[in-house]
Amino acid sequence: MIGLDTNVVVRFLAQDDDVQSPIATRFMNRLSRERPGFVGCVVLAEITWVLSRAYKASRDDIAAAVEGLLRSSELVVENAPAAYRALAIYRSAPSAEYADALISEIAALAGASETVTFDTGAAAELGMRLLR
């Protein structure tokens, strides 16, 4: 298994750099079930942030990119059950950030009774408890 940094995955997804995108594509195309790439939860969260902020990608496009990574047989995604649950929330909650949903779902699957936050949006959209 080979760990993947956010910038490699983003270059593969965005195909926006004449030098790095072809390198990332060749690398990703060489991954297999026997020698998969590993995508950590931090990488997933960073990918959604970069696609949203730097590339101005739509929520639908971001969700499709995350789903594609999750469904790839050549990738192992850290805590895939939480990542899938966060994706479902991201798709259904119009202003929820994927990273916040992932934080909440990782905590829930780890046995946390609740997740606390100072983020009023995350509290409203994701059911986190707002600390006051």
Q: Rounded to the nearest 5 degrees, what angle is found at the Cα of 45, between the Cα atoms of 117 and 118?
A: 10
52 pLDDT more than 90: yes
Q: For the purposes of burial, counting CB atoms within 10 Å of the CB of 53, is it exposed (0-12), middle (13-18) or buried (19 or more)?
A: exposed
Per-residue pLDDT reduced to its tens digit, 71-108: 999 999 999 999 999 999 999 998 899 999 999 999 99
How many other C-beta atoms are found inside a 10 Å radius of the C-beta of residue 115? 18
Q: Are 74 and 99 in contact (CB under 8 A)?
A: no
Distances in Å between the Cα of 67 and the Cα atoms of 58, 75, 87, 124 are 14, 12, 8, 24
pTM of the model: 0.91
Per-residue pLDDT reduced to its tens digit, 10-50: 999 999 999 999 999 999 999 999 999 999 999 999 999 99
pLDDT value for 127: 87
Helix axes 80-92, 41-53, angle to 10 degrees: 30
- The distance in angstroms from the start CA to the end CA of the chain is 43
Q: Are 39 and 75 in contact (CB under 8 A)?
A: yes
Tokens standing for 96? 């929820």
